[in-house]
Every structure is written in structure tokens, then in C-alpha cells.
Structure 1
Amino acid sequence: MSPSPRPLPPELGGQFSVRRASDAGATRRRMRARDLTRPFRGVRRSVRFIEERGAATERDKKPYAEFRRKRQELIDDAHAYAMVMPPGAFFCGATAAVIGDSLPVKFPDALDVAVVAPQRAPRAKGVRGRKVAEHLVTIGQFEGLRLTSPASTWAMLGRDHDLRDLVAIGDALVQIPRDNFGLQHPEFARATIADLATELARGPRPPSTKKLHEALGLIRVGSSSVLETEFRLDAAAAGLPDPELDMEIHYDGTRLGISEFVYPRYRVVVEVEGDHHRTSRGQWNRDIEKYQAYVEAGWETIRLTSSHIRGREADALQRVAAALKRHGWVG
């Protein structure tokens, strides 16, 4: 049996650069031990670190646990690469979108890393390099990582995303969060529509300039999921009346609930329900109470799931149009 590797200096933590380890007294041979992995050239990550991360995510049974697990893995990779990344480099694209803003983009299969021209884009295994003009990017920080600001991230995603994706991403950025009491907190919004407009005013971004401007005109405050954005865009294209978004419903001075799409003139509410409405017992019970209160106050509620909006036999628009017509809308 091989002897156990000599313990590493505790100040190195779970992942570290080879140079820092050498400065702390670790030998080259120690850097080749089996209890260390190599996420990037010049970086080591301990197997124990990986196991502890895995155990922590296994304990997470709340909705969207898989997203949080994958996001944490991406953050760990970004911290690892940051130890050896070129001076002045920063994370961008889908990497910045997931790490900094938890935006609805496909998880990147490599770290998106950019530099300002005329620097050369970084090249390394597990890294997708990019070079950008200085006047077209603003840089911020997240947990000590340099990455594009929310508005710059959105604009840079224009190259690789279609119009509907850009609207959904923009909707997510400008959404005004609510706390557990349902109170809005504009100060916690990651960006405003004005921020996105200011970003586009920095200059053209061929070949996505036109697409970005078109997306900007379609972004709205109040859509809190991709499904909601998809339904909103489809409803507008079909000629349905414009709804109020993320609206509070009151009756006799009491707030009955907050709903995604509300047609006040027709007393119709549309709820777009993700899977957590089904899997969370607390959410399920709250929904039942809210919808009963809506009925008693004279509102009709149309509940939609992903199969109604994007399924093979999607009929969300027909369902909502029929409800509106029952309440006096002439389509």
C-alpha cells in the first residue's frame, strides 16, 4: 500500500496554484499525488474539496437544487482559473451570466474569458477566449472574480443567442425582486432597462447590433421566468391585450395575492407555474388559498404550465383568449 501523501499547508485551502503551493513549501512530487486533481494547468484541487462540495449539494433538497449545484461547480472552476488567468482578463458571456446573475442561459462547457484589445485572447484547455474593444465593456466583481457587468453580459450574449433568448435574459436582469412578504425591492434589481440602453449606446456590436436593439424594445419589468417571457411574447404576437405584470390583487383593502399576468379590465388572471408549484407542499397550499380568494373576489384564473406554453399541443393562447372573451374582450 502506498503511503498517504504528506499533508499540505492548511493555508492553501481546497484549490490553489502550483506556484503558491511551491512558495508554501510543497514539492513538485507532492503536486503529482493522487489526492490532487488538475482543473487547469498550474492549478490543483484536492479530492477532499470535491467530496465536501458533493456532500453539501447532496443535502440540498430545495427546488432548483441541480441549478445551484452546477452553478457552484462553475464558480469553483472560475476561482481556480483566476489563479493563473492573464493579467486584466475577466469572465464574460454565459460564464458571467450564470456566475454573477444566475441568468437563464445554457451552462457553458468551458469558461468564457475575455481580454481588452489589443491583448491576445487566452487559450487553455477548458477556456474559451475572447477579445473585446475597451469601450464596449464594463467590468465588475462577484466573490472576488472579475466579470462583465450585468448590462455588458447581456450585450455580449447577443452574438450567440437569438432574439427570444435575449428578451428572456433581459427580463431576468430587470426583474424587481420581492421579499418573503411580497414587498418589491428595486435596489436589488441587477439592471434596469435604462442600463441596457446605455450599454447599447456605447457603440455598434456587429453582427448582433440590430438584434440587441430589437430585444431591448421587447424587454419588460415583471417577467420572472423564461416561461413567462415566452407566453408574453406569444400573446403579444397573437394580438391579445397587454397585461399588467407582477401585479398585486386586492379586495376590501386586503392583498389576496400577486400574479404574473393580470387583465384588470376583464377580471382575468394568468398564472404560469413552474415545477416548484407542484413539488413544494407550502407553495401548493398557498396557491390553493390564493385561487379560492380570487374566485370569491370575482376573478377568473387561468393556470398554465410548460406543456400549455411550449408543448406539442400547446394551447395557452386559446385558453387565455377564451377567458378574456368570457369577460367581454372582443378579439
Structure 2
Amino acid sequence: MSRQGFFTGMTAAALLGCPLPDGFDPDADLSVGTMHPHRAARARGVAGFQTREHLAHVMDVGGLRVTTPASTWAMVGGELSERWLVIMGDHFVRVPRDHRGRAMPNARLATPAQLEAAALAPGRRHRKALVRALTSVRVGSASRLETEYRLDAEAARLPHMDLDVEVRGADGALIAIVDGMHRAFDLIVEVEGDHHRTDRAQWNRDIDRTAALAAQGWEVVRLTSRRIRDGSATSVVRSALHRHGWSGPRGH
């Protein structure tokens, strides 16, 4: 890598820990950028290109020069579907929590305003696709599965769902931090990754937490990756919403 070079595109997304599309090829050429007027990188295993400073901000990631999350997101606008731009955008703007469940806004990778600024930078290619995706990016999805379910629920015209919600008891003690909540219908939606099944301690915590939420009057709908991927998750939640008094669309 030359002094002027930096990783960008899907290579940068991988280095930033972003979820990647199923079709992503880990053996693809590394995406390396250089700032004008420096020449684009040319080497075996490298896809080099030249860009302008206002279109690609660079940061250090483990000793490597990598485009910032906002720049990375904007620069893959022509490589990803709108759905995947939303998944990646959700990943970048989420607010992490520490081991005690406390929000750490300073640890987030990007803000929605930073994504917007990157998308609207003068001369940005694929701006329309980025702006469309940005309207669906929300703070609160902690995984690809959560974003995928949320997008499917919105397409199915299910009611608005609050994300990453703290549930507390009457004494103010934290009972759980839930993935999604339909507050008006006393319904909680939890998206279960595979670790909820394979990790025995996590499995036991999930059972205890569901019981504690039920004692507070909440129904908990737990969605597996299979239900989300086969499209049946929205039907499960729709039925639960109707049980709780929602009178919205009754599609299949």
C-alpha cells in the first residue's frame, strides 16, 4: 500500500465489521482508493480507483487506512441493492450498549446526519439510490436480521414499531432491552439469532426474560432467522397484533 492509498468499498465495509451480502466474494480484489491527483493503484489482487477528498474521508482501523463508515456507505451506493444499503446504514448508525445495557452513543460508527452529508456531497454518484435508502435507515436495529424483519414489516403495513427499547418494572429496575415494541398493543418482538439456540446460558436468560416480561403484561413474539428468511414472520406478528386489538390490514 502506498502512502496515498486507503481501503474503500466493500473491503472497507468488511474491515468496519459491517454485515455483507450473501453473494459477497471474500476472494475478490481489494478495493483501494487514492485521492486526486495521485494515480489509482495498480497491482495483482487490487481494484484501484481515484477519487476526490470531499468524497472519501479516511480513518485508521487497526493500523490500516480505511474510508470512514459514512464515506464507505456512500461509496458502495452503486454496488448494493436499496435493501442492503439500509442494512448497512442501520449497522453504522446503531448505538451500541455495554455489558450492563447502557447506551454508548459515542461508540456509534456514524450518525444519520453523517450518512446524509456523505450521500449529498457534490458529485456523489448514485445519489438518488442513497437518498431513497436513507429514508428507511433507523437507529436501533442491532443486526441484519432485525433490519430485514423491520423492512418486511413496513412493506406489510404493520404498525410502527419502536426499536431497542428499555423495559423497566414499577420500581424502575431494568427488566429487559427488547428489539422491538408495539407499545399500544402490549406486544414485544424479539429477533433470535442462532446464538440464542446454541448458547445454553443465553437460552436460559431468554426464558427467564420472557417470563419476566409476561409478568408485566407483555406478549413476546420470538422470531427465528428461518421465519424472517421465509417471509412468515410478518404473518406471525400480524396475528398477534390482531389478538391485541389492531384492526389494520389483514393480508396474508
- 2:205 is paired with a residue whose SS is helix
1:104-162 Cα offsets, whole Å, 9 max, x none, are 12354221111113332212112111221222111111122111111101101112111
132-141 vs 238-247, which deviates more? 132-141
Tell me the residue number matched to 1:41: none
- 2:180 is paired with a residue whose SS is strand
Q: Calculate the TM-score normalised by the size of structure 1.
A: 0.71
Tell me the residue number matched to 2:2: 86
Mapped pair 1:251 → 2:147? no
Instruction: Tell me how far apart the structure 1 counterparts of residues 2 and 101 of structure 2 sit (CA, whole Å).
Output: 44
In the TM superposition, residue 86 of structure 1 has moved relative to its aligned partner by 2.6
- 2:12 is paired with a residue whose SS is helix
Judged with a 3 Å threshold, the aligned counterparts in structure 2 of structure 1 residues 214 and 129 are, in CA distance, closer, same or farther, namely: same
Instruction: Tell me how far apart the structure 1 counterparts of residues 170 and 198 of structure 2 sit (CA, whole Å).
Output: 32
> Which amino acid letter does the alignment assign opposite residue 113 of structure 1?
V
- 2:76 is paired with a residue whose SS is helix
Mapped pair 1:233 → 2:151? yes
Q: How does 1:1-331 map to 2 (within 5 A)?
A: 85-99=1-15, 101-105=16-20, 106=24, 108=26, 109-206=28-125, 208-253=126-171, 254-311=173-230, 314-331=231-248
> Which amino acid letter does the alignment assign opposite residue 168 of structure 2?
H
Instruction: Tell me how far apart the structure 2 counterparts of residues 217 and 243 of structure 1 sit (CA, whole Å).
Output: 16
Superposition CA RMSD, Å: 1.3
> Which amino acid letter does the alignment assign opposite residue 200 of structure 1?
A
Equivalenced residue count is: 243
In the TM superposition, residue 310 of structure 1 has moved relative to its aligned partner by 1.2
Instruction: Tell me how far apart the structure 2 counterparts of residues 203 and 234 of structure 1 sit (CA, whole Å).
Output: 33
For the 8 Å contact 2:4–2:38, the answer to whether it is kept is no
Which of 1 and 2 has greater Rg? 1
For the 8 Å contact 2:90–2:147, the answer to whether it is kept is yes
1:226-251 Cα offsets, whole Å, 9 max, x none, are 11111111111111111110001122
Instruction: Tell me how far apart the structure 2 counterparts of residues 274 and 329 of structure 1 sit (CA, whole Å).
Output: 27
161-170 vs 143-152, which deviates more? 143-152
- 1:248 is paired with a residue whose SS is strand
For the 8 Å contact 1:98–1:107, the answer to whether it is kept is no
Give the number of the structure with larger relative contact order, counting CA–CA contacts within 8 Å between residues 6 or more apart: 2
> Which amino acid letter does the alignment assign opposite residue 87 of structure 1?
R
> Which amino acid letter does the alignment assign opposite residue 321 of structure 1?
R
For the 8 Å contact 1:116–1:134, the answer to whether it is kept is yes
Instruction: Tell me how far apart the structure 2 counterparts of residues 262 and 188 of structure 1 sit (CA, whole Å).
Output: 24
Tell me the residue number matched to 1:81: none
Instruction: Tell me how far apart the structure 2 counterparts of residues 272 and 107 of structure 1 sit (CA, whole Å).
Output: 27
Percent identity over the alignment is 46
For the 8 Å contact 1:266–1:327, the answer to whether it is kept is yes
In the TM superposition, residue 192 of structure 1 has moved relative to its aligned partner by 0.5
Tell me the residue number matched to 1:10: none
In the TM superposition, residue 294 of structure 1 has moved relative to its aligned partner by 1.2
> Which amino acid letter does the alignment assign opposite residue 64 of structure 2?
L
In the TM superposition, residue 262 of structure 1 has moved relative to its aligned partner by 0.4
Instruction: Tell me how far apart the structure 1 counterparts of residues 112 and 235 of structure 2 sit (CA, whole Å).
Output: 31
Flag structure 1 segments of 5+ consecutive residues without an equivalent: 1-84
- 1:292 is paired with a residue whose SS is helix
